[in-house]
Amino acid sequence: MMQKLSPFIALLLLLLASGCGTMANGRRWGEDATWRPGWGRVGTVAVETALDPQTWGPLVVAGLLQVEDADGRISDWAVDHAPIFGSPENAQDAVDWTGKSLDMMFYASLAATPSGDDPGEWGWNKLRGGMVEFAGFGVAEISVDELKDATGRTRPSGGDDQSFPSSHARRSAADVTLAARNMDAMNLPGTARVTMKTGLYSLGAVSAWSRVEAQGHYPSDVLAGWAVGHFWTAFFHDAFLYKDGPPFVVQMLPEPDGMQARLVWRF
């Protein structure tokens, strides 16, 4: 197990080393967290998140998999051939260690966001920002639980009727979404950020797929779980963690014979 986790532990240490200070815009991560962002911002972010390919894309593919029972056929093939993990037993083992690795990466990214140099300020900003992100986790979990009860889909293994959507894929998507957004707030070199995000998303995809090879979910269960996890965590992060700025700004534009003042209203 330690050999499997060691690359991720190294990555966690790198994230934690990025440390304190402020974001590129001079603000401290978490200091602008608010439960009253305004209905305009909430509505805008809701639409943007719904139109995000990580939300609608998995849902479209999940729907297409229902044609001629492609969902069931892919599930049977994955269990019989186990192309990634070699056997359902290995896949079940991977469910555990990949999930724990993603959790560790999320927590490390949360700790490494630049929330200020003063310990008290750092801790308060972390608490505020963390509450927003964990709210996204919580709503995503409740949504998946409600959908499981409403649909009552039997697992490929026949174990119970809690197959749709996948809670594991929901958690993987939530970890990946928030860790990636937290990385965006860090003062990291572009190459390092791209490399870490590539590893993060790759591990998330492998972790979600492990549930298919382990005969715990159909592919559409995993895709729907990913869409739900991404939507709610991205929505809460983008709607409640940052301020838009003042509702209006005054722009001064040069003119041939002087200056022009223009009021720009944000809505």
pLDDT per position as a tens digit, 4-35 = 545 555 555 555 555 567 888 888 999 999 99
Asked if residue 165 is part of any domain, the answer here is yes
pTM over 0.75: yes
Helix (H), strand (E) at residue 14? helix 2-17
Asked if residue 15 is part of any domain, the answer here is no
- Domain of 36 in residue numbering reads as 28-265
Q: What is the pLDDT of residues 48-63, one digit of tens each?
A: 999 999 999 999 999 9
Share of the chain above pLDDT 70, in %: 83
Q: Looking at the 3D structure of the chain, how many domains does it have?
A: 1
Asked if residue 7 is part of any domain, the answer here is no
CA 218 remoteness from chain centre: 21
Q: What is the pLDDT of residues 127-137, one digit of tens each?
A: 999 999 999 99
DSSP E strand stretches across 16-96: none
Asked if residue 1 is part of any domain, the answer here is no
For residue 165, is the peptide bond before it cis, meaning its omega torsion is within 30 degrees of 0? Answer: yes
